Structure 1
């Protein structure tokens, strides 16, 4: 088990907690990830899974939905409330409703059993790369107070906050990355494969349902009118007509995001 007082760095072996009640699957996952240089801790039920995550403070969690004690959804809620951590959820049912519920409680990705250990390892590596990405800080106080705005949608890039019609929306890290990816090319149709590459850092035809499920989660939290589906191609962020200039281009109207900040937020660096 890793020392929880030691924060992981990009050069340190990545830490993963596998919470799975089937010993055969647990052992197979642990063997594969250990062989690839991961530090692996395991738990066989919901309560011990929550405790293990708190003790190890892993870089990522592999979490089965069906667990004794309490299920994976409750585990996900508890560990995300304590200290958010990337979660890849395992489910025995290929049911989109279950997948959306998992995304809704904070999971970043999911796989349906049976699955390939090679694909699991690849997805975890991609998830870790996303987490370890760093964005250069804004160069001025003015840039810190500028956000993307489309109609009543405001996206605070630096603070990773989103507001729709004056109401804050609570997005998972992956949902925010997906929304920002679409918002960086407003009105442009991005294919599922492009989104998989840009948001998830991996390309696999079997992963397109992951994109679809996250888009549905975004619509549920931000409104069905926000993301347009182009059947057989992909998705685009809808731009309200009021945000377009006479020539059809996006109007330049930076948003003041001071309303997204709360007294509890840490002060920004000068």
Structure 2
């Protein structure tokens, strides 16, 4: 049984989310404070985390960052904040999805299942790949897929789960141009035009960590009018 942690200060909404998850075969725990939610999340016993942003105790975005720094589990933000900047910040801090209130409980469950399935696919593919496929070496960049670690000139750089997925996807499809829409569909799994901007945010953050000069990238290049290309 998959376990879900719901970090939501509005008790009626939290209880509605719990009821729907339990109806669909999940076990769900509720917590109504940001700091308490973070502590429970870091126990590592949950398969998926639902996170509100307006929380007492700790801001939801700070909680998202702290969880992503430690754990590789799907994080779905569910918030009344509907400004594009909030969505971009949430994705940039490692959230896997952003759902605005009011929401359809059925859609919430569908998105949660889709993200869990995506994480399981990535995990199973990594396990199935032989040792010879576990690492990608391109000049001074080394990507260790098995341990989900990245090294540049021998020094480890830390990439949250989504940034790592973006880098691995592009590095395993070298010299091919992907549009923002294609990357969003392949990596996020939802064709939602309003969130396409998160692709550029993640590309920028990856460049800042792997490129010697992020403004003049040598690995992830911009192909103007077309998208992005990982150059080998």
The normalised TM-score by structure 2 is 0.77
Decide which structure has the larger Cα Rg and report it.
1
Displacement of 1:227: 2.7
Q: Could you say if the C-alpha distance between residues 152 and 99 of structure 1 is closer, same or farther in structure 2, counting changes exceeding 3 Å?
A: farther
Q: Does 1:186 align with 2:179?
A: no
Distance of 2:98 and 2:3 partners within structure 1: 19
Written as runs of structure 1 = structure 2, the 5 A alignment for 1:16-165 is 16-53=4-41, 57-80=45-68, 83-91=71-79, 92-96=81-85, 98-99=86-87, 101-103=89-91, 105-133=93-121, 134-135=124-125, 136-139=127-130, 143=132, 147-165=135-153
Q: Secondary structure at the match of 1:17?
A: strand
Deviations 1:171-226 (A, max 9, x none): 11222111111111112112334323432344444442343332233233334324
Contact 1:99–1:213 under 8 Å retained in 2: no
Q: In terms of mean alpha carbon deviation, does 33-42 or 202-211 score higher? A: 202-211
Distance of 2:44 and 2:152 partners within structure 1: 36
Deviations 1:57-115 (A, max 9, x none): 2101011122101112333344456654331223415243x445544554333334444
Contact 1:153–1:164 under 8 Å retained in 2: yes
Q: Could you say if the C-alpha distance between residues 60 and 190 of structure 1 is closer, same or farther in structure 2, counting changes exceeding 3 Å?
A: same
How many residues align? The count is: 223
Counting helix residues as a fraction of each chain, which structure ranks higher? 2
Written as runs of structure 1 = structure 2, the 5 A alignment for 1:254-265 is none
Q: Does 1:221 align with 2:204?
A: no
Aligned to 2:155: 167
Q: Could you say if the C-alpha distance between residues 95 and 170 of structure 1 is closer, same or farther in structure 2, counting changes exceeding 3 Å?
A: same
Q: Secondary structure at the match of 1:40?
A: strand
Distance of 1:112 and 1:233 partners within structure 2: 30
Where do 5+ consecutive residues of structure 1 fail to align? 1-11, 244-270
Displacement of 1:128: 0.6
Contact 2:92–2:201 under 8 Å retained in 1: no
The normalised TM-score by structure 1 is 0.68
Where do 5+ consecutive residues of structure 2 fail to align? none
Deviations 1:33-75 (A, max 9, x none): 3333322221111133134435682101011122101112333
